[in-house]
Amino acid sequence: MTQAPATTTATRRRHDREIVVLAVPAFGALVAEPLFVMADSAIVGHLGTAQLAGLGVASALLTTAVSVFVFLAYATTAAVARRVGAGDLQAAIRQGMDGIWLALLIGATVIAVVLPSAPALVDLFGASDTAAPYATTYLRISSLGIPAMLVVLAATGVLRGLQNTKTPLYVAITGFVANGVLNLGLVYGADLGIAGSAWGTVIAQWGMAAVYLVVVVRGARRHGASLRPDATGIRASAQAGAPLLVRTLSLRAILLIATAVAARLGDADIAAHQIILSLWSLLAMALDAIAIAGQAIIGRYLGADDPQGARAACRRMVQWGIAVGVVLGLLVIVSRPLFLPLFTSDSTVKDTALPALIMVALSQPICGVVFVLDGVLMGAGDGPYLAGAMLVTLAVFAPVALLVPVFGAGLTALWGAMTLMMTVRMLTLLLRTRSGRWVVTGATR
């Protein structure tokens, strides 16, 4: 007939292949991260309740500290992908090295803060008298692995920007296995208790960081990129990451407010909330994998001065986000009777969680659009807009959520507020993408 439909079909298939090739390994790497904590919990749990409670407090602190700096991955992915699109691999890897040096500087600063303040931080999180010593021990030792964890974030961003998500998957799987073996050997074989678990995790994290550094250094030497720290480049990486830090802190504030409100609703509500939040986080990983593909693909198209390709890729990824969101929502509805008994046998908690899970299921297509467009705008280096949009979202969500207990509403109303939050995010992101102002081409934004 005409050439246009064939071209459109071919373009969609090309985008589909790119999304699958990047998103599937990215999802595997994302899932591997929480498995670290699960493995540590399973091993330490056999030492005693106090040790497990201490691990829970310390892990929460460490996870918060590291997740705050996730911009090291996001900003690096976008910057590297632009230079890849522009055909300048030397500059791409040089940009990646700046991100890695920034990660080391931040990591050293975090260690300097955590080591002396560990007992106060543990107390702030409400650890019991019996759990506090174990939490302090684990936190102090594990803090030595924070620079490695941040290097892994930055180096992962480098490889994603280079359109490589397979290596992070392989490193994550290897790190998970090594972590489990080291923990078992040090906790029980060497009889180091919870300290052995911390040392095992630190060794595994530095091992992962070393592998990433070898890969990046080899790439730098192959393309003649300098490995030395560059103050201007490090400062530019920090400036690019600052808006994403604001975005991340705003999102963390939303989640903390939701948990605080759930706690005020009663024991059954907070228990159900934690179950639902764990599921919501798992679903988010599936959608975040598409967002990661979006960061790499959009950055590359814009760096290659191809705005039409960037827009077409954006449209296709939104379609993917909606489709995956619908599938995930249906899975939640179908699996509710099987999912809840895995976490609780309390009928009150189950009855509280069931209607809220319906709200979560219905919101998944919205979440799909949000995660994809978040990734698109990150890939475009549109951090300042993302920061402002998240602050607006926080300003809308906070009063609505805080009014839930005032009006005697329950957990379903709270998750209705969470759905409102995601809807506001979707609207702000759609406004931006439709305006076209995010489409800034060139090797740098």
- In DSSP notation, 389-412 reads HHHHHHHHHHHHHHHHHHTT--HH
Residue 26 has pLDDT above 80, yes or no: yes
**Please, are residues 324 and 65 in contact by the beta-carbon 8 Å criterion?**
no
Q: Across residues 368-375, what is the average pLDDT?
A: 97
Reported as a single tens digit per residue, the pLDDT across 36-53 is 777 788 888 889 989 988
Residues 89 and 95: their CA atoms lie apart, in Å, by 10
Reported as a single tens digit per residue, the pLDDT across 88-97 is 999 999 999 9
∠ CA 94-95-100, rounded to 5°: 95
Q: Across residues 212-218, what is the average pLDDT?
A: 96
Q: Which residues contact 276 (CB under 8 A, 6 or more apart)?
A: 353, 356, 357, 360, 411, 415
pLDDT of 7 reads 52
Residues 158 and 147: their CA atoms lie apart, in Å, by 16
pLDDT of 2 reads 38
pLDDT of 108 reads 96
Residues 219 and 89: their CA atoms lie apart, in Å, by 9
Task: Give the single-character DSSP code of 228.
Answer: S
Q: How many other C-beta atoms are found inside a 10 Å radius of the C-beta of residue 378?
A: 25
* 163-to-25, 285, 314, 401 alpha-carbon distances in Å: 11, 19, 16, 39
Tokens of 421: 């939050």
Residues 162 and 165: their CA atoms lie apart, in Å, by 9
Residue 143 has pLDDT above 80, yes or no: yes
Residue 6 has pLDDT above 60, yes or no: no
Residue 120 has pLDDT above 90, yes or no: yes
- Classify residue 436 as exposed, middle or buried by CB count within 10 Å of its CB (0-12, 13-18, 19+): exposed
Residue with the bigger pLDDT between 344 and 117: it is 117
Residue 237 one-letter amino acid: S
Mean pLDDT of the chain: 92
Q: Across residues 104-120, what is the average pLDDT?
A: 96
Residue 319 has pLDDT above 70, yes or no: yes
∠ CA 395-257-54, rounded to 5°: 150
Task: Read off φ and ψ for residue 24, nearest 5 degrees.
Answer: -65, -50
Q: How confident is the model at residue 328 (pLDDT cuts 50, 70, 90)?
A: very high
Q: Across residues 114-131, what is the average pLDDT?
A: 90
Q: Across residues 108-126, what is the average pLDDT?
A: 92
Residues 12 and 15: their CA atoms lie apart, in Å, by 5
Tokens of 368: 């799909």
Q: Which residues contact 436 (CB under 8 A, 6 or more apart)?
A: 311
Q: Across residues 68-83, what is the average pLDDT?
A: 95
Residues 19 and 5: their CA atoms lie apart, in Å, by 21
Q: How confident is the model at residue 350 (pLDDT cuts 50, 70, 90)?
A: confident
Residue 1 has pLDDT above 50, yes or no: no
Q: How many other C-beta atoms are found inside a 10 Å radius of the C-beta of residue 108?
A: 12
Task: Give the single-character DSSP code of 188.
Answer: I
Reported as a single tens digit per residue, the pLDDT across 391-437 is 999 999 999 999 999 998 899 999 999 999 999 999 999 999 999 99
Residues 167 and 185: their CA atoms lie apart, in Å, by 27
pLDDT of 170 reads 94
Residues 104 and 98: their CA atoms lie apart, in Å, by 10
**Please, are residues 209 and 151 in contact by the beta-carbon 8 Å criterion?**
yes
Helix (H, G, I), strand (E, B), or coil: what is residue 226? coil
Q: Is 224 left (phi over 0), alpha (psi -120 to 50) or beta?
A: left
Q: How many other C-beta atoms are found inside a 10 Å radius of the C-beta of residue 330?
A: 12
Reported as a single tens digit per residue, the pLDDT across 262-297 is 988 988 888 888 888 888 988 998 899 999 999 999
| Helical residues (DSSP H) of 68-165, grouped into ranges | 71-85, 89-124, 132-142, 146-161
Helix (H, G, I), strand (E, B), or coil: what is residue 131? coil
Percent of the chain with pLDDT over 70: 98
- In DSSP notation, 191-203 reads --THHHHHHHHHH
Predicted structure pTM score: 0.90
